[in-house]
């Protein structure tokens, strides 16, 4: 039976719908099958136990007492007010479709498919009843959207204005696989078999792959830690999976699988968490409102899809935000100069810091690793275009660099064009920032990751924008493939002085002590020591027997949490939450061999020991969680991922490029002279212009000899000067 709260909201939505539509109107009514299902929902609500439902929300709890970390994370990762209503509407719609599905099964002895919603009126009826109708309505694309990107990504594709927009579903290359075919993640019910074998607990898998390793961290002596950090930075430009909107449930206090919780169960022999009946907290991702068009490819309406809370495009959304409200909050409204807000209380040796978040409580203020000593007050979280700006201090560093770069561009553009309005300056600087990210990512980053063969296959020379390509982020990319970088994170966060030696006053940090710690940028030397560490220290080398460093297995967020999280478990549980098929389905999708047994799997991995260990856990390669199987494949030639992830990453970045109407190489986006000078950009130059660093490699992703900043090319902004 559906949770009463969902049915209650559905009833309210239905009643509101009845009051705002004409009684008996043919357009307002669905088919008898759909209408009878809604009536059944009402009947169930009327029969339901009417116990009190006014449990305190997380926010109200915070006002009464000290919050647990899990409660803080609920508050911190909840969608904004603009999107919260939409998530609740999507949950209502899913409840209605699930009820129709059950009636189809019990009454008609068959599963629901798209033909069961017999007319557009049926779907309109469900959309309006649930509250999804306004969210799935196509926006009107005005003339202004011809020249600059919208902040929410709408109208990039003028034929289909929601493609790639914020708050639209993650798309799929393969149909989802849920335990019930609708929404329940695989592995939820004990005893079920998949390809003849049960799915292991993700924490059990995490413990076993950790036991494969020794604790000598392998180093990648070719690439710096900046390669890893840029991957995370770009990931935050592409996808943000929002948490389910039911804020009155605390998934951190029990092992209940009540929505929206999907707890990570602790195995009996767990080495760290001794309570065999305990769980690690896990909130399911928010569902998306479903339309006939979004369901058409896989032929059903009822399976759960997840939301992307930000724009899909490489557009600098982590700098500017993906909603109008967020963008306006980040802009300097005190002048008409087109700049972004900066911190009013602190500077970094005269350079700008990010502004503070205006909330009374947040994870940063509760971090046990926040400041040097008790003489410093707690520093709140910074605010930026992406919610994750404070999760790790080096992400905060990149946010700081690009806010400074936007404001530097804005100042220069104003000097060149004093007559430009603040809006024009803001949009032109934002346009340049987006192009910078595209160029660095495709020219300097991706070839090092997916290798030259995949680059030739998926990203040959750019031709032109193709409006038939869907640039939306694909679920498998966001949930598994582009999380490969977790295997390249080192346990040491280096802080270096001007000579690129460990800072005598502010020494290197352990990774576990670098989450939610903005105070270290305010009181401990600013961003430059962290930038030098990213430039000078080698990446961790991803190896099959050393998947993650121990700080990510046993110490994730422990500085703000009573029980540390486990990143490997989180990644695999998220894949199941999203209904991602197993390893071999994706190998077949990419045209690769699908190993049937341990012998064939050993050949794919080129490692019989690891293959044997995984077969013992999963029984068959068919069942292995995509993130785990993909991350342990041997590297492609001159790359840092295996064949499968080179395919999925290459395909996604091909779609992002060719399906973006504002791509920097597209005709009429920049003048010929502007585009030629933009190609001179480098991340090294951005650092030179926005820090006190004077010596660094021209390609900061590579452990190369250093140059003085004066030898590193600049963008010539004179090509943006209007001819009066």
d(CA 256, CA 288): 23
DSSP 648-711: HHHHHHHHHHHT-TT-TTSTTTS-HHHHHHHTT--HHHHHHHTSS--EE-SSTTB-PPPEEGGG
25 near 281, Cβ under 8 Å?
A: no
Residue with the larger pLDDT of the pair 691 and 556: 691
Residue with the larger pLDDT of the pair 86 and 431: 431
Quote the tokens at residue 412: 């220069």
Given this model, what pLDDT does residue 483 score? Answer: 96
Nearest to 503 by CA among 531, 545, 482, 474: 531
Q: Is the pLDDT of residue 246 over 80?
A: no
Q: Percent helix, strand and coil across the chain, each rounded to 5?
A: 45, 5, 45
Q: Among 243-257, 267-281, 309-323, 447-461, whose mean pLDDT is lowest?
A: 243-257
Given this model, what pLDDT does residue 271 score? Answer: 75
Given this model, what pLDDT does residue 384 score? Answer: 95
Q: Is the pLDDT of residue 32 over 70?
A: no
480 near 627, Cβ under 8 Å?
A: yes
Residue with the larger pLDDT of the pair 272 and 64: 272
Q: Is 307 helix (H, G, I), strand (E, B) or coil?
A: strand
Per residue in 535-556, pLDDT (tens digit) is 999 999 998 888 888 888 776 7
Maximum average pLDDT range among 4-13, 371-380, 420-429: 420-429
Maximum average pLDDT range among 2-16, 89-103, 680-694: 680-694
Q: Helix and strand tally (H, E) in the chain? A: 28, 12
d(CA 228, CA 218): 15
Q: Among 388-397, 455-464, 585-594, whose mean pLDDT is lowest?
A: 388-397
Given this model, what pLDDT does residue 364 score? Answer: 72
d(CA 411, CA 426): 10
Given this model, what pLDDT does residue 65 score? Answer: 36
Q: Is the pLDDT of residue 678 over 90?
A: yes
d(CA 82, CA 316): 20
Q: Is the pLDDT of residue 324 over 80?
A: yes
Given this model, what pLDDT does residue 258 score? Answer: 79
Plot region of 606 (φ>0 → left; ψ -120 to 50 → alpha; else → beta): left
The H or E element spanning position 20 is helix 4-20
Given this model, what pLDDT does residue 210 score? Answer: 79
d(CA 615, CA 197): 10
Nearest to 159 by CA among 463, 464, 470, 472: 470
CA dihedral sign, ordered 626, 510, 610, 208:
negative
Given this model, what pLDDT does residue 699 score? Answer: 98
Q: Is the pLDDT of residue 23 over 50?
A: no
Quote the tokens at residue 214: 């020794």
d(CA 592, CA 587): 5
Q: Among 68-77, 129-138, 320-329, 646-655, whose mean pLDDT is lowest?
A: 68-77
379 near 522, Cβ under 8 Å?
A: yes
Q: Is the pLDDT of residue 107 over 90?
A: no
Give 93's pLDDT tier (boundaries 50, 70, 90): confident
Q: Is the pLDDT of residue 85 over 50?
A: yes
DSSP 451-490: HHHHHHHHS-S-----TTS--PPBHHHHHTGGGGGGGG--
486 near 571, Cβ under 8 Å?
A: yes
Q: Is the pLDDT of residue 104 over 80?
A: no
d(CA 411, CA 132): 43
Nearest to 124 by CA among 295, 292, 303: 292
* Three-state helix/strand/coil letters over 317-344: HHHHCCCHHHHHHHECCCCCCCCECCCC
Average confidence (pLDDT) over 270-277: 70
Q: Is 216 helix (H, G, I), strand (E, B) or coil?
A: coil
Q: Report the length, in residues, of the chain.
A: 724
Given this model, what pLDDT does residue 250 score? Answer: 66
Give 112's pLDDT tier (boundaries 50, 70, 90): low
What pTM does this model have? Answer: 0.89
Q: Is the pLDDT of residue 612 over 90?
A: yes
Nearest to 715 by CA among 518, 310, 470, 439: 439
Look over the chain and give the mean of its residue pLDDT values, rounded to a whole number.
84
Q: Is 347 helix (H, G, I), strand (E, B) or coil?
A: strand
Maximum average pLDDT range among 74-78, 84-88, 176-180: 176-180
Cα 497 to chain centroid distance, Å, stands at 33
Q: Is the pLDDT of residue 589 over 90?
A: yes
Measured between alpha carbons, how far apart are the two ends of the chain, in Å? 70
d(CA 335, CA 317): 22
d(CA 594, CA 585): 8
**What proportion of the chain, given as a percentage, has pLDDT over 90?**
59
- Beta-strand relationship, 509-510 and 492-493: antiparallel
Residue with the larger pLDDT of the pair 562 and 132: 132
547 near 633, Cβ under 8 Å?
A: no
Nearest to 270 by CA among 217, 203, 193, 351: 203
Give the count of beta carbons closer than 10 Å to the beta carbon of residue 656. 24
Angle, vertex CA 133, rays to CA 131 and CA 135, nearest 5: 90
236 labelled catalytic: yes
Catalytic residue of the set 236, 353, 437, 486: 236
Give 257's pLDDT tier (boundaries 50, 70, 90): confident
Quote the tokens at residue 66: 């000290």
d(CA 195, CA 620): 8
Residue with the larger pLDDT of the pair 146 and 647: 647
Quote the tokens at residue 151: 């902040």
Quote the tokens at residue 225: 């830690």
Given this model, what pLDDT does residue 560 score? Answer: 55
Q: Is the pLDDT of residue 561 over 70?
A: no
Contacts of 362 (CB under 8 A, 6+ apart): 72, 75, 76, 380, 381
Nearest to 686 by CA among 447, 485, 397: 397
Q: Is the pLDDT of residue 268 over 80?
A: yes
Average confidence (pLDDT) over 149-177: 95
Give 159's pLDDT tier (boundaries 50, 70, 90): very high
129 near 38, Cβ under 8 Å?
A: yes
Given this model, what pLDDT does residue 701 score? Answer: 98
615 near 557, Cβ under 8 Å?
A: no
Nearest to 141 by CA among 658, 652, 661: 661
Average confidence (pLDDT) over 40-46: 40
Q: Is 438 helix (H, G, I), strand (E, B) or coil?
A: helix
**What proportion of the chain, given as a percentage, has pLDDT over 70?**
79
d(CA 678, CA 663): 13
Q: State the angle between helix axes of 393-416 and 225-238 in degrees (0 to 180), rounded to the nearest 10.
A: 70
- CB hemisphere CA count around 588 (13 angstroms): 11
Per residue in 495-538, pLDDT (tens digit) is 999 999 999 999 999 888 888 889 899 999 999 999 999 999 99
Residue with the larger pLDDT of the pair 146 and 338: 338
Which residue in the block uniquely carries the two structure tokens 């990419």?
Answer: 590
309 near 167, Cβ under 8 Å?
A: yes
């Amino acid at each position: 039976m559906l949770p009463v709260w969902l049915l209650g909201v559905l009833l309210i939505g239905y009643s509101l719908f009845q009051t705002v539509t004409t009684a008996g109107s043919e357009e307002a009514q669905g088919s008898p099958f759909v209408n009878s299902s809604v009536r059944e929902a009402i009947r169930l609500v009327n029969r339901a136990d009417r116990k009190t439902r006014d449990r305190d929300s997380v926010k109200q709890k915070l006002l009464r007492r000290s919050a647990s970390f899990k409660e803080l994370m609920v508050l911190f990762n909840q969608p904004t007010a603009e999107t919260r209503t939409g998530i609740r509407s999507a949950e209502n719609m899913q409840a209605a479709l699930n009820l129709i599905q059950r009636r189809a099964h019990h009454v008609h002895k068959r599963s629901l498919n798209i033909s069961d919603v017999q007319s557009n009126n049926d779907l309109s009826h469900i959309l309006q009843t649930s509250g999804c109708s306004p969210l799935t309505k196509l926006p009107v694309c005005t003339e202004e959207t011809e020249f600059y990107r919208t902040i929410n990504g709408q109208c990039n594709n003028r034929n289909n204005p929601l493609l790639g927009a914020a708050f639209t579903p993650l798309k799929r290359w393969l149909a989802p696989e849920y335990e019930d075919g609708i929404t329940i993640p695989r592995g939820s019910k004990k005893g079920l078999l998949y390809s003849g074998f049960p799915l292991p607990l993700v924490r059990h898998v995490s413990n076993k792959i950790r036991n494969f390793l020794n604790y000598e961290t392998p180093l990648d002596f070719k690439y710096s830690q900046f390669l890893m950090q840029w991957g995370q930075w770009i990931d935050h430009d592409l996808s943000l999976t929002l948490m389910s909107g039911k804020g009155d449930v605390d998934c951190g206090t029990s092992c209940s699988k009540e929505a929206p919780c999907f707890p990570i169960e602790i195995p009996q022999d767990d080495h760290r968490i001794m309570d065999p009946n305990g769980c690690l907290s896990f909130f399911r991702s928010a569902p998306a409102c479903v339309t006939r068009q979004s369901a058409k490819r896989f032929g059903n309406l009822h399976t759960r899809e997840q939301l992307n809370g930000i724009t899909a495009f490489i557009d600098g959304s982590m700098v500017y935000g993906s909603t109008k409200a967020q963008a306006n909050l980040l802009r300097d409204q005190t002048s008409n100069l087109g700049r972004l807000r900066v911190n009013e209380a602190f500077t970094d040796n005269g350079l700008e810091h990010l502004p503070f978040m205006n909330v009374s409580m947040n994870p940063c203020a509760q971090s046990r690793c926040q400041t040097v000593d008790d003489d410093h007050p707690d520093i709140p979280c910074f605010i930026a275009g992406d919610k994750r700006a404070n999760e790790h201090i080096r992400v905060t560093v990149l946010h700081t660099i690009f806010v400074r770069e936007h404001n530097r561009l804005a100042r220069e553009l104003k000097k060149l064009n004093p007559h430009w309005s603040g809006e024009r300056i803001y949009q032109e600087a934002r346009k340049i920032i987006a192009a910078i990210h595209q160029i660095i990512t495709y020219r300097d980053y991706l070839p090092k990751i997916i290798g030259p063969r995949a680059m030739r296959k998926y990203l040959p020379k750019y031709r032109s924008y193709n409006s038939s390509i869907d640039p939306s982020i694909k679920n498998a990319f966001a949930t598994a493939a582009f999380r490969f970088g977790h295997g390249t994170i080192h346990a040491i966060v280096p802080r270096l002085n001007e000579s690129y030696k460990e800072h005598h006053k502010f020494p290197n940090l352990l990774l576990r002590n670098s989450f939610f710690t903005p105070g270290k940028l305010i009181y401990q030397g600013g961003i430059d020591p962290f930038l030098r560490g990213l430039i000078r220290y080698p990446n961790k080398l991803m190896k099959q027997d050393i998947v993650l460093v121990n700080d990510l297995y046993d110490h994730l967020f422990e500085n703000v949490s009573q029980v540390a999280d486990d990143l490997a478990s989180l990644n695999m549980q998220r894949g199941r939450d999203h209904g991602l098929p197993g390893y071999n389905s994706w190998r077949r999708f990419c045209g690769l061999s699908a190993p049937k047994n341990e012998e064939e799997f050993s050949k794919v991995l080129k490692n019989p020991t690891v293959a044997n260990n995984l077969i013992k856990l999963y029984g068959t390669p068919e069942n292995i969680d995509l993130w785990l199987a993909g991350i342990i494949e041997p590297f492609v030639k001159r790359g840092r991922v295996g064949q499968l992830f080179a395919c999925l990453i290459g395909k996604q970045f091909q779609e992002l490029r060719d399906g973006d109407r504002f791509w920097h190489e597209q005709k009429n986006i920049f003048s010929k002279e502007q585009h030629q000078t933009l190609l001179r950009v480098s991340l090294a130059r951005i650092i030179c212009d926005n820090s006190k660093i004077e010596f660094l490699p021209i390609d900061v992703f590579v452990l190369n000899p250093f140059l003085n900043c004066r030898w590193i090319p600049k963008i010539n902004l004179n090509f943006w000067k209007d001819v009066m």
